[in-house]
Amino acid sequence: MSEVAPVTTDSCLMSYKWDWKNYPDREQELYRLNRLYTPQDEDDPWNYGQDIITTKNRIRGRGTALSIKLTSPPGTACKVTGLAVLYMVEL
């Protein structure tokens, strides 16, 4: 069987800063498949079992302002269909 390659390459990178500091952004990959799909043969349609790939990511740190930046490397697509921010305040 020949090698399998994706038709499109999708990627979404998130970086964030607390209080608009000048330290380097902490960057992490958001868009990723949680399990590997292996087709049976060349005619097997790709079916991951989900229409939308979802991931949960944690942002840790302290500050009064949080800046979040979503980017996509050149030649890749980044499609954000929803974003939720849950936060906890320590008193």
Q: Give the integer Cα–Cα distance in Å for 23 and 84.
A: 25
| pLDDT tops 50 at residue 4 | yes
Highest mean pLDDT among 4-8, 12-16, 36-40, 75-79 belongs to: 12-16
pTM (predicted TM-score)? 0.66
- What letter would DSSP give residue 52? S
| pLDDT tops 70 at residue 2 | no
Put residue 77 in one of left, alpha, beta given phi > 0 → left and psi -120 to 50 → alpha.
beta
Q: What pLDDT score was predicted for residue 1?
A: 47
Q: What is the pLDDT of residues 22-79, one digit of tens each?
A: 776 778 888 766 666 677 777 777 666 777 777 788 888 888 888 888 888 888 888 8
Q: Give the integer Cα–Cα distance in Å for 81 and 35.
A: 21
